[in-house]
Amino acid sequence: MKILIADAMSGEAVEILKSKGLSVDVKTDLKKEELAAIIGEYDALIVRSATKVTRDIIAKADKLKVIGRAGIGVDNVDVEAATEKGIVVMNTPQGNALAAAEHTLALMFAVARKIALADATMKQGKWEKKLLMGVEVYDKTLGVIGIGNIGMIVAEKAVALGMKVIAYDLFVAREVAAAKGIELVDLDTLLAKSDFIAVHVPMVKETKNLIEKNALAKTKKGVVILNVARGGIVNEQDLYDALMSGQVSGAGLDVFEQEPPPKDYPLVLSDKVVCTPHLGASTKEAQGKVAIDIANQIVDFALNGVIKNSVNAPPVSIEILRQLSPYLTLSERLGKFIAQVTDFAIVEVEIEYLGAISEVETKILTQGIMRSILSAQLDGINYVNAPIVAKTRGIRIKEIKEKDHDDYTSLLGIRLIGEKAQNVAYGTLLGKKQPRLVKVNKISVDADLTENMLFLYTHDKPGIIGGLGTALAKKSINIGAMYFGRESLGGLSMSLLDVDAHIGDDLLVELRAMANVIDVKRLNLT
């Protein structure tokens, strides 16, 4: 196997690969055109965060079998394009969690005590002691949005500092959080009560601009915003405006929507902001560990055909993966669907395998389902750790298997159960390959599960279809297909639209305000 390392990596990681007889080229700082020109020669590619593995690059990677990301985030890799081409994408979800958590706390202290400004003025020969009054973090409230690997470490260490910690996360059982001294709340409560807010969710369409002007308006006046997750989760213009108005007193930012940000960027130049150039994972310990981890995973893949910590393939041999492929697609898309239409905390996931699907390797399907569900809120979830993460968060997993079904050759059901509510969706395969949604709760439907979809619960009244068509037409959004179902005449109705473009926040607000609309969800099932 011929391997290209496109970003700086520890010598120990390179030696691990070479010691197993693998051919390794280290070529860093390649321009996009340079990478595209040579990628066709390689079987494996290893990157950190600097190299962007785009769809165009992947299109030229005719021999590529695996992409290894030394780190947790894979937003610099077009996972969808890799999956379409049968390329496994691996990451190292645990290696840099502590480093990122410590960096969050470092920024919190730096903002609270005005460390950066104090240092800068001292270097200018000034002694601004009276102007640099800080605040203590003890007895303050820290709101953590997303308590996955990194967010949980931040929360635990903040508790140890004597802070009150509240968190918003749909995939942690209340008793599990309470055992660690964390109170689970809804997002609006977190915004209103927090003195400091730390963002630790993945960057997906649902979390882009999660913290924007409307959210900031709900915060306590003088709140501090911390982002060591991904740029774009916090709307930078809205944050700057809130800093200028005094609604936000300070911010600690390690990530930006454009990296590096533009020169003379007002947010970076603000005295109220402490900025670092994406250093969350930049410790010697973290970088060494993730490099060694990805090297060992590539070795295992090359020599034994074992897939570990993949974000798009289960930990099985390539041959078994081919056999399971249609069922994996169904299970993962159905898992994403039910997770994205659910907005209550989950305590149990019940999975029904009915008919022929009950006779395949359902353990792997269950891992894929849990990965899809948990990834809606958490970063770094893969096939291996998904069941473990669910268990640590107090989420029970139950499987039901029956070899026969009266209506379908294979039927998969996923039920998400909360303390006071539940949602269930059923799906099957059309022609043994195409995932198909056939039922949501009590409503029967016959719908493709595609990339961009719009889901609505409405009252079964005239005018819904016309209103939807008009609203989407105003935004020049074409409808590829429309699917409908209802519980009963005049009762609860469901609409599912396959749309050709992303649904913006403004359109969601407009649709939710329409007569007889109960709820609207924007779905991405890839």
The catalytic residues are 230, 259, 278
Token pair, residue 293, equals: 């981890």
Q: Which amino acid would we find at residue 37?
A: A
**Can you state the angle between helices 11-19 and 284-304, rounded to 10 degrees?**
10
Q: Which two tokens stand for residue 157?
A: 């260490």
**Chain centre distance of CA 55:** 20
Q: Which whole-number Å values give the CA distances from 106 to 118, 147, 272, 383, 474, in the listed order?
A: 15, 18, 15, 32, 47
What token pair was written down for 481?
Answer: 């297909």
* Cβ pair 23, 2 in contact under 8 A: yes
What is the rounded CA–CA span in Å between residue 449 and residue 523? 10
- Six-digit token string for 34: 């340079």
* Measured distance CA(463)–CA(468) in Å, rounded: 9
Determine the Cα–Cα distance for residues 504 and 255; give it in Å rounded to an integer: 23
Other beta carbons less than 10 A from residue 361's beta carbon: 14
Quote the CA–CA distance of 311 and 162 in Å, as a whole number: 36
How many angstroms separate the CA atoms of 218 and 325, rounded? 45
73 touches 202 (CB < 8 A): yes
The rounded distance, in Å, linking the Cα atoms of 499 and 502 is 8
Give me 83's structure tokens: 């999956």
Q: What is the 3-state secondary structure (H, E, C) of 30-64?
A: CCHHHHHHHHHHCCEEEECCCCCECHHHHHCCCCC
* Cross-strand pairs, 89: 67
- 149-160 and 97-112 helices, crossing angle to 10°: 50
**SS3 readout for 143-203:** EEECCCHHHHHHHHHHHHCCCEEEEECCCCCHHHHHHCCEEECCHHHHHHHCCEEEECCCC
Distance CA 87, CA 83 (A): 6
Name the residue among 24, 88, 81, 93 with its Cα closest to residue 57. 81
Paired tokens of 28: 């860093």
Instruction: Please tell me whether residue 402 adopts helix, strand or coil conformation.
Output: strand
**Tokens for 380?**
């770094």
